[in-house]
Structure formats: structure tokens, C-alpha cells
Structure 1
């Protein structure tokens, strides 16, 4: 089976499993898990941030960040395609009592001028108080698109001028760093909080980390506990994260190259209406007709290939650690034969 639904479908490599089995563990609720402590310290240092905290999921990390930045009744500015709005179960409203002010950006990214327009006047008590700006890099529904760092700097300045928090959902930030040749410390200097995922491009079985300024992060563990995220001997998962940071970051270039080659193959098919320009490991595309979609998906399933439907006629392919060169060549071969349909 060639599974291209998501980069979350990967399984630990043998060497990652070896590192996990050898982990030194303790009770993390007491902050006595040496491996998790090491992982948190390492990622905090990578970003030049003061504190980091391990989470079982990226959603929990994002929800904790929102709670740290806001009070019930506040409003969060984010893109209309943001993960925190579409894919976190309404958690922003349920957990933090906040609403989202949706910005109509391009491929999941918006301009600094749109942020200015979205801020509610703080003295106008009829509207929610704007408290936080949230961005997602890479932007999932934008086809794995990468933010322009200069635009992010402009948004940071607006946040400072208006006393707003600035949070980065960096679930696939590792991909953006490789694609744009940027560094974690650049982002650490810009954002108040950043969540990074270990179980997508880096191939870990579980885990995300939230990093941030000490003043903000002092209540992060309490909120994680409230959300049910207290863990015990979690260092086995922390060891996977440490191994991935050493071995699975640079190889993301392979995922990006294969995604680019898939984009080129799709663009040769008459049944394909358009393909969102590929920057990282996500390929989003549309077919001309619904009838084409049925033919397309049936043909892939016959060849034991699966991918994701995103609704509104859009399909998604995600390359990842377990998608080998042999699988890639097979997939390209299958796509080439679709021109006959």
C-alpha cells in the first residue's frame, strides 16, 4: 500500500525504536523524566526561547497557547484556512471561550495590512477584544506553502504596536525551515509562542513541543494538566524526538523533491484542472469534473494507492519518511498511465 494521505502515517524506524528502548525515563508529572527534560531543553535552545513543554498532540499544544494568550470573550486573528479553526474540534471556543476573526489570505497566508484591518478597536466594547494573531507555517490547506519571513516581521511589529500576542502553529515548520533555508532562532526572535510537531515530517510516533517566553509559559503545565495532558514515563517518546532531530530534518529535502515531481506529473494530465504550486511536501490539486475524480481515485485504489479528499473537489497528497523512492517511481508510473483515460 502506498499511503499518501498524510505525513502522520509513518512508523518509527528501527534505529528510532532502538533509541526509544534505551531512553532514561522518570515521572514527567514531577518533571523527573531525564529524556523529556533533555528534549525540551534542546528545542528551547534551538529556538532561542526560554522554556519548552512536551505535548502528546499538536492540537493540545496550540490550544494551550491560545489559552495562555487570551481571556474568555477575546478574539484571535487567523486565516480562514487555519488548522486551529478547521481541524481542532472548535477547541478555541470550547477551551478558551474565544472567537476567531477569519482573514481571507492567499494559500493560508495573509498580509500585514489585513491584520491591521482585522483588529477590533479596543475601546469599542460591542466587539470582542482582539488579543492574539495566529499563523500557520507551513500552511496545510495552502498546499504546504511557506510564509515570507519579512511579512511575518511586519505582523510582529503590528502585534507590538497593538499589544497582541503572536503564536505560530509550526506543525510543519521543519519543512519550511528546510525549504527556505531559515533557522529556528529566527522564528524564536519573532514569536511569543511556537508549537512544533515531531510526528509529521520527523517521523515520530507521537508528540509536539510548545516553546515560548518564560512569563507566558509559566502556566503551560497547568493548562496541559487541565486538558488531560499529564504524562508519566514519556521519555520513550522524547527519545524518538531527539533521534528525529539528529537524523530526520535534512532528509525533508527528499520529501519536497518528490512532491515537486508529483506536481509536474499531475500537470501533464488532462483531467487535472489545477495544482497548487508545491513548496514543501504537500500537493493539493483539483480535477476538472466529479466524474474524473471517481475515475482517478478508483484507478489509484486498484493500484493500492490512497490519498486524502479535502472537500470542494480538492485532493491532497503528502510525501513523507515512509514513502520510498521505489514507491515514488511506482506512483509516477501509475499517474502517467492515467493519460489514457
Structure 2
């Protein structure tokens, strides 16, 4: 297990360097390494290299790092949500959080809301509406018996349709042109607006969420076997599911606020990892974030290169690349949810 984790960590580090070096503006690899070293150690660069250094350190690197953070967060949350609702089709967006965030994001993009917040308007509005969606889903789904998997999935799915209807009305009611295109890019996921200011908040939230989930890995194993079994093993399923809902919603809302609704990562990566390491959540939660980070880094690289200098939504790349790989693994692996 440790060699696999260390190997993936090295692959991720190499992917970050490659992601910084690849782009529409060609920069020699030796210069990329030199600029990364200068930025990391506080060194200086020649006046002739300032433009290239700015591209590497201020534009590409925060984008790549944020992509890794978002990919890791979506993969970890996908693992938790699938255990929480015991549904193989569940992903971080099944609770309606991303659809709620889309309402806030498009209020900024299409209607110019919260313009006084400046560059933070989009992220703050998306995160705020994600929290409101979380509260609404929780309030509607909760019953006298607590948060049951079926009520969570049905409530999240139903409210997601409602949020998507509101977003659609916004798109069709707004003036066409660049605003509508920007709204579509956000709905399909994009890291084009990444800045260093966004990285610490997103990274801290994802790391905190992952640490909490990793500490509850044994309880997740029990919860995945059913409420009666988990209760017999000393786990309080209703309480654990409530805690999981808050943690997964907070992480999902944070990453969606900075990247848009990047699909397929939270659905595919947990299953792919289970095919390799089994269903034990201690193993899955150790590997899945690294796989998700690598996947999204390279998906973002492809989104920048395929139609350069234009960009594709990163969610399109994750689906186009992920679907055939996932189907191939399913055919070859004899996989069933929860095990091999």
C-alpha cells in the first residue's frame, strides 16, 4: 500500500511540473524548473524573463495546484457520499450542492450581482448559495428517523432539478454573448480563473475534510454494510450520516466555488480505486485523492491544449477521457460496488 501511495505522490509531483510547463505559450523546460525554484526560494530572475516567469508562477502554477486540490477533494467526497447513501451512482453533486452553487455563480456572471466584492464575487456567491442549498436539502430530507439514504438522494436530486431550472431561466433571460459563454464554462467546470488567493482556502478545506474522513474510515466500512450492521458494530448511523453530510457539503461547496461543477471525478475515481485496492475505506481514502488530483491536473492540461489558445471546459475532458477508461475497467475487472 505504501509503495502505491508514494508512487502516486511522485506521479502527482511530476504532473504538476508538466502541467506548469505545457501551454499555448511555449516555455523551455529548463526555464520552467528555474522559475519554479526562483519562486519557491524567493530568488530573482532576469528582466528578460519576467514575462515568462509571470506566466509560470502567477498563472499556470496556481491553476495546476488548484486543479490538484479540487480533484483530490472531489475524489475523497465521492468516496464518502457513496458510503453515506449506499449508492454506486452517487457523486459529490447528488446532494444538490453544486446546482445550488450554480445559482449564485450565475447571478454574478449573468446579472452582475455582488459586484462590490470584486474578484471574490463569483466564489463568495457560489459558496453562499451552496450553503443555502445544503441547509435546504438537510431541512427537507431530515425526518423523525433522521437522514436516511433514500430521502437524501431523492431530496438532493429533486432540489437539483429546481436549482437547474432557476439557472436555465437566468441563462435564457440574460443577454447573449460572452456572459452566456462564461456561464456555460462555469457549469461544465473551469480552472481558468484560478489565483493564489483561492488556493489556501480550498486546500485547507479539502485537507481538513480528508483528515476527518480518514479518521472515520472504519465507521464508513460499517456504514456501507447497512444501518443495522453498523449499529451492531457500535456505529450510530444517523449521527454519522449527519456529520458526513455537513463535511461533504462543505468540501463540495468550497471546490465548486473555485472551479465550477467538474463532473465525473467524484463518481469514477472511487470505483476505479476500489477495483485496485479493494473496498476498505482506509485504503480507498489513502489512494483516491491522489488519483483524483492527477486526473484533474491532466484534464486541465488537455482543456488548455486541444483548442489552444481557446479553452474547453475541464468537465468535458474528464467525461471524454473517463467514460471509456471506466467502462473498460468495468468490463475487465468483474467489479461490483463495495468490492471486487
TM bucket normalised to smaller: under 0.3
Q: Whose RCO is larger (CA < 8 A, sep 6+)?
A: 2
Q: TM-score, normalised by structure 1?
A: 0.26
Task: Give the structure with the higher percent helix.
Answer: 2
Task: Give the structure with the higher percent strand.
Answer: 1
